[in-house]
Amino acid sequence: LLNADANKVKRFVTSDLALTIPTGLSLSVGDRIWLRNAAAAGTLTVASPGVTLNGSLPTFTPHVEVMLRAVGPDEFDVVRLAA
């Protein structure tokens, strides 16, 4: 993820991808990033070493989407959205 991803949907269309949420993103409190697995098959794996996620990430099977809301430096609330 990048700072430029703030308030955008990151749509992943290739199966079995891995995504890392890096530390040190310059996001404002309240900024959101949506992650959506739009692949027809497979899963999206998300790692967050050094980042606090308030809530658990679901298994990113096809058409699962979550929102990450920045609540502080390197800290996000996880909001699950219906598939």
Instruction: Kindly give, in sequence order, each residue whose CB lies less than 8 Å from that of residue 4, ignoring residues fewer than 6 positions away.
Output: none
All residues at 6 or more sequence positions from 63 whose CB lies less than 8 Å from its CB, including other chains? 36, 37, 38, 83
Kindly state the tokens that stand for 32: 């959101």
Can you tell me whether residue 5 is helix, strand or coil? helix
**Would the pLDDT of 54 be above 70?**
yes
- The predicted model gives 43-60 an average pLDDT of 87
How confident is the model over 34-59, as a mean pLDDT?
Answer: 87
Q: Which residue has the higher pLDDT, 77 or 80?
A: 77
- Residue with the two structure tokens 């027809």: 40
Mean pLDDT within 23-48: 90
Task: Give CA–CA dist 42/18, Å, rounded.
Answer: 11
CA nearest 6: which of 28, 23, 22, 37?
28
